[in-house]
Chain A
Amino acid sequence: MGGLSRRDFLKASAAAAAFAAAGASAAASLRPKDASASEGDIRWGKAPCRFCGTGCGVLIGVRDGRIVATKGDPQAPVNKGLNCIKGYFLSKILYGTDRLTKPLIRKGDTMVEASWDEAMTLIAGKFKESIDKHGPDSVAMYGSGQWTVFEGYAASKLFKGGIGTNNVEPNARLCMASSVTGFMSTFGGDEPMGCFDDLDLGDTFFLWGANMAECHPVLFSRMIDNRLRNPQVKIIDFATRYTRTSQMADQYVKFNPQTDLALLNAIAHVIIRDKLYDEQFIKDHVVFKRGKENIGYGLEDKFKFADEPKLIGFDEYKAFLKPYTPEYVAKLSSVPAKTIVELAHLYADKSRKVNSLWTMGFNQHTRGTWVNNLAYNVHLLTSKICKPGENPMSLTGQPSACGTTREVGTFTHRLPADMVVMNPEHREKAARIWGIDPKKIPAKPTYNATEMFRALDRGDIKVVWIQVTNPFQSLPNLSRYRKGARKGDGRFIVVSDIYPTRSTELADVILPSACWIEKEGMFGNAERRTQHWFKQIDPPGEARNDLWQTIELAKRLGYGSLFPYTYPEKEIWEEYRKFGEGQGKDLAPYESYTKARGLCWPVVNGKETTYRYVEGFDPYVKAGEGIKFYKNKADHYKAVVWARPYEPAPEVPDRHYPFWLCTGRVLEHWHTGTMTGRVPEIMRANPSAVCEMHPVDAGRLGIKDHQKVKITSRRGTIILPVNLNGRGKAEKGNIFVAFFDEGKLINELCLDAYCPISGEPDYKKCAVKIEKA
């Protein structure tokens, strides 16, 4: 290494990796040739990033059993060697000083260390007792989109196929459920037709309620890079709050909360009125439907809803759209009529490749399913769909919201591969693969996530096991569910996690879990890409894999025969992929994933599918068929354009509570902050939640920047400093508070209203008042 210090080599390696990731082959000569030699003692392994649903590839460098370096994986098609700022924290999430390393059992007000055997004996005993006394629906599993595929699969198999209850739910109900019901009702199959390549290939991007610059930075960068190469590229940010995304967009279109429903109908109205639609495509690939209206908000316990879709004609759909004139919707939304018309024309511009991207603004919505439907409508009417570079795309927030919760089907109503418990053939098939009596799987779904915790509060559920998530910080109308959890009377709560959280503090047993590369795993990202990683370091202390924990419970409840594996991860994968075979959900053999940087399903004959429903890309579409929505057999393989009206939010600002409260994420933190909050440097960059407020509103109330204010909704109160000029800027009449701060439980203020079709709560809209604290 002649003359250069270790430090110089590290710096050279850092620069070399950056040059390489930038695709700078011309810069190869700039790379000191010894750079890689200096790393000789570091062992590199691949994994998808632990944080968001983008699923960036990471290379992890391990020496002496510890992580010493990370790299963006240059071979990963998602991020091509570059991670976002959260990449700095990937390794450190594992090494917080308060990592849980031993099982803990509650003795009165204290948690006492116990052996795994003691903890598992206690847990199994409580499960048995509750099942004997109150039946299988008195026990539940609450997991997450951070479960590996194996963990979610084992939980679902044990509860649905073993214990015989559909009490399995993931936290993805709180973030992705409306996307699922949107896809299912429009296309008959879950998950997008396009992939992230659309960000490079498209030239027109409509963002709806998606602060991509902060929440999906790597994807946002792909779009920005595209714009740098191609001056045609236009980014339009539809939002209720001005963010870093708005700042970088070509156009920021602010609208009043909830009026996205009306805006999308107005855009469709203009497309029809000005004859901008693709008549042939509509004839070939679209049917029209209208469902129930005035469908409620899920505010009462045990709320039930079933849609009753009716086929309508194109003319009836046109008549439905009549009232949504740009002028009428301008009044409702505050978007000028002229802008609505212009943007409708931009959506339909035949010379442009148009994409829509959305996240929680659409999904966390009391009409979340509808607003997803309405976005698809615009793409279907204009045939801007199923083409490389033009597609609607719903983005995910968790690393395996798609791979685990949606594809494995860890919702109360779902089974793997888009199957549902209500369908006897689906139950048959699941039972066959699981080797059980089909009668074992109950035909009725039980509770969505909110209802599950309502049931715990009422006492209908007694025992709940929470894995890889933090509901006692993340549920809406939080106080009710936090109190409910500790009501006693036989209630028993198990929480598996890696750090103490606002949920472990309510637990009767806390189990220390292995995290990310401390175990083997697979995640599935938002573009249908399934990614595998091997265990690369040992978990600390006695921490154990959640998969092991679930199987251990199974054994102790007498369901060990459901898990007869010697290499559980591999064997579960091979068993699980039987569900999707031939269903357009085909997955490759286990080995393929150990090498590939992920594969987008369906994977048929070793080939992944980047664009679904499209001839030439998707093996399920035969030559000559062009486009075929083959998952929607019921509608003759056509997609559905839905007539869905604008309906107001359940709670709107009034004299007493004059502001809209919206909650969400910020660049430096991920979800409830249990991992990013561990890392002192993030806490420094963005240490605690603030209340973003418009300066005019603040001025009217005599509130100065950084002054503390009391925010009150009908459900709770919180005191926060005001931020009038932060990275995000609230619009007049709105405030925004991030939900990562475990010291400030903003969700206590949120309303637990949900979309009746998806069961997903609306964290973006409730009414609050602001006073000087």
Chain B
Amino acid sequence: MPVSGVIITCAEGCSAEVSSRISSINGVEVHGILPDGQIVAVVEADTVDGEVELVAGLYEVEGIQAVRLAYHNFEDIAH
């Protein structure tokens, strides 16, 4: 099961709201909100397909300006 660490940039003042909104998404785990408002989250799904769908979905969440990928591990999926 692949797992990735992402940083989510939010519009000013939206971080708390965005954080609670995305915490309810299955497969997205918020790990912290940084002082500058960026959110650190871990995304996991059964497949990379699933991860990408989750991240592409985040782009549609109001208040989210960008999602960037810091780390991606997919060691247990056969390519």
Selected contact of B5 from candidates A17, A26, A95, A679, CB within 8 Å: A17
8 closest cross-chain pairs (CB), A and B: A14-B5, A95-B79, A17-B71, A18-B5, A68-B75, A82-B68, A681-B49, A18-B70
Residues of B within 8 A of A69 (CB): 71-75
Interface residues of B in 23-79 (CB under 8 A from A): 29, 31-32, 34-38, 40-42, 44, 47-49, 51-53, 55-56, 59, 65-75, 79
How far in angstroms is the closest Cβ of chain A from B60? 9
Q: Contacts A61-B73, A92-B79, A224-B66; is A15 near B52 (CB within 8 Å)? A: no
Produce 1/0 per residue, A540-553, CB < 8 A to B: 00000000000000
Residues of B within 8 A of A (CB): 1, 3-7, 9, 12, 29, 31-32, 34-38, 40-42, 44, 47-49, 51-53, 55-56, 59, 65-75, 79
Q: Contacts A22-B40, A225-B9; is A85 near B73 (CB within 8 Å)? A: no
**C-alpha spacing A526/B66, complex, angstroms:** 22
Q: Give the nearest-CB partner of B1 in chain A.
A: A7
How far in angstroms is the closest Cβ of chain A from B17? 16
- A83 beta carbon closer than 8 Å to chain B: yes
Produce 1/0 per residue, A1-25, CB < 8 A to B: 0000001001101111111111010
Contact B12 A14 (CB under 8 A): no
**C-alpha spacing A92/B49, complex, angstroms:** 11
- A684 beta carbon closer than 8 Å to chain B: yes
Q: Beyond the given A7-B3, A14-B70, could you list 6 further A-B residue pairs with CB under 8 A, ordered by the A residue number?
A: A10-B75, A13-B73, A22-B7, A82-B70, A85-B56, A681-B49
Residues of B within 8 A of A679 (CB): 48
Residues of B within 8 A of A11 (CB): 3, 29, 42, 44
A-B contact pairs, 27 of them (CB 8 A): A10-B3, A10-B75, A11-B3, A11-B29, A13-B73, A15-B5, A15-B42, A18-B6, A18-B41, A20-B70, A22-B40, A66-B79, A68-B75, A69-B74, A71-B72, A81-B70, A92-B48, A221-B68, A224-B65, A225-B9, A229-B36, A667-B59, A679-B48, A681-B48, A681-B49, A681-B52, A685-B52
Residues of B within 8 A of A225 (CB): 9
Q: Contacts A14-B3, A680-B49, A685-B52; is A22 near B67 (CB within 8 Å)? A: no
Which among A17, A26, A30, A685 has the greatest number of chain B C-beta atoms within 10 A?
A17
Contact A88 B53 (CB under 8 A): no
Selected contact of A14 from candidates B37, B42, B52, B67, CB within 8 Å: B42
**C-alpha spacing A680/B52, complex, angstroms:** 11
Contact A91 B74 (CB under 8 A): yes
Residues of A within 8 A of B56 (CB): 85, 668, 685
Contact A88 B68 (CB under 8 A): no
How far in angstroms is the closest Cβ of chain A from B24? 18
How far in angstroms is the closest Cβ of chain B from A223? 10
- A433 beta carbon closer than 8 Å to chain B: no
Contact A16 B5 (CB under 8 A): yes
Produce 1/0 per residue, A519-540, CB < 8 A to B: 0000000000000000000000
Contact A228 B3 (CB under 8 A): no
**C-alpha spacing A668/B55, complex, angstroms:** 11
Which among B51, B68, B74 has the greatest number of chain A C-beta atoms within 10 A?
B68
**C-alpha spacing A17/B71, complex, angstroms:** 6
Q: Contacts A13-B71, A22-B7; is A88 near B52 (CB within 8 Å)? A: yes
Selected contact of B69 from candidates A61, A85, A667, CB within 8 Å: A85
**C-alpha spacing A13/B7, complex, angstroms:** 14
Produce 1/0 per residue, A287-310, CB < 8 A to B: 000000000000000000000000
Residues of B within 8 A of A84 (CB): 68-69
How far in angstroms is the closest Cβ of chain B from A669? 12
Residues of A in contact with B, size category: 35 or more
Contact A26 B41 (CB under 8 A): no
Residues of A within 8 A of B38 (CB): 22
Selected contact of A685 from candidates B1, B36, B41, B53, CB within 8 Å: B53
Which among A18, A66, A91 has the greatest number of chain B C-beta atoms within 10 A?
A18
- A156 beta carbon closer than 8 Å to chain B: no
Q: Give the nearest-CB partner of B52 in chain A.
A: A681
Interface residues of A in 202-228 (CB under 8 A from B): 213, 217-218, 220-221, 224-225, 228
**C-alpha spacing A216/B32, complex, angstroms:** 26
Contact A228 B12 (CB under 8 A): yes
- A696 beta carbon closer than 8 Å to chain B: no
How far in angstroms is the closest Cβ of chain B from A525? 18
- A596 beta carbon closer than 8 Å to chain B: no
Q: Contacts A63-B75, A92-B48; is A681 near B53 (CB within 8 Å)? A: yes
Residues of A within 8 A of B47 (CB): 681
Residues of A within 8 A of B (CB): 7, 10-11, 13-22, 24, 26-27, 30, 42, 61, 63, 66, 68-72, 81-85, 87-88, 91-92, 95, 213, 217-218, 220-221, 224-225, 228-229, 244, 248, 667-668, 679-682, 684-685
Q: Contacts A68-B74, A69-B74, A684-B53; is A14 near B4 (CB within 8 Å)? A: yes
Residues of B within 8 A of A68 (CB): 73-75
Residues of A within 8 A of B3 (CB): 7, 10-11, 14
Q: Contacts A682-B52, A685-B52; is A217 near B44 (CB within 8 Å)? A: no
Selected contact of B40 from candidates A10, A18, A92, CB within 8 Å: A18
Which among B41, B49, B51 has the greatest number of chain A C-beta atoms within 10 A?
B49
Residues of A within 8 A of B65 (CB): 221, 224, 248
Contact B49 A19 (CB under 8 A): no
Selected contact of B35 from candidates A26, A221, A680, CB within 8 Å: A26
Residues of B within 8 A of A244 (CB): 59
Residues of B within 8 A of A218 (CB): 68
Contact A72 B69 (CB under 8 A): yes
Contact A21 B75 (CB under 8 A): no
Contact A72 B71 (CB under 8 A): yes
Q: Give the nearest-CB partner of A683 in chain B.
A: B49
**C-alpha spacing A24/B41, complex, angstroms:** 14
**C-alpha spacing A18/B49, complex, angstroms:** 21
Q: Give the nearest-CB partner of B29 in chain A.
A: A11
Q: Contacts A88-B52, A92-B79; is A217 near B72 (CB within 8 Å)? A: no
**C-alpha spacing A16/B7, complex, angstroms:** 11
Contact B71 A18 (CB under 8 A): yes
Contact A24 B9 (CB under 8 A): no
**C-alpha spacing A27/B40, complex, angstroms:** 11
Q: Contacts A68-B73, A70-B72; is A224 near B49 (CB within 8 Å)? A: no
Residues of A within 8 A of B70 (CB): 14, 17-18, 20-22, 71-72, 81-83
Residues of B within 8 A of A21 (CB): 7, 68, 70
**C-alpha spacing A164/B67, complex, angstroms:** 50
Residues of B within 8 A of A229 (CB): 36
